[in-house]
Amino acid sequence: MKKLNQYRAGLYMALHYREIRTEINFLLRKHNFAGALQAVINHLRHLSTERNIDKICQHIEFLGTIYGRGNHYVKYILENLFVRSLGGLRRISTVHTWTVIEARLPVPFLEIRKGQQIHNLLISK
């Protein structure tokens, strides 16, 4: 199976995230995959304020699929932009909401998140 580059991954994101499709397409035309991913993160934060847990989890699971099929660059950007943003999502969510979201996080994201937390602890000492 062919790995997804940032352009193809962005097209899949534009198809999946109907609410922000025009913003994603605009950023992809500018070759700004990281910006398109930031738009998705902002959308997830908006859904969090609306307490739309199911939709948040569906979108995160979709990003897990993109991560699994992505090439090195797509994985790198997802690790360094999306997974790090989960801390911010956790801060603005209620305990119950975050528990549900964390339980449905794809395994690769959980592993990356754990590795980032360990790295941050080692740096802070």
Which pLDDT belongs to residue 66?
96
Read off the pLDDT band of 1 (50, 70, 90).
low
The residues near 89 (Cβ < 8 Å, ≥ 6 apart) are: 44, 45, 48, 98, 101
Largest CA distance in the chain: 44
Distance between CA atoms of residues 23 and 25, nearest Å: 5
Q: Residue 97: which of 42, 44, 37 has the closest Cα?
A: 44
Question: pLDDT per residue over 83-110, tens digit each?
Answer: 888 888 999 888 999 999 999 999 999 8
Give the lowest-confidence range in 17-31, 87-101, 105-119: 105-119
**Confidence (pLDDT) at 112:** 86
Q: What is the model's pTM?
A: 0.87
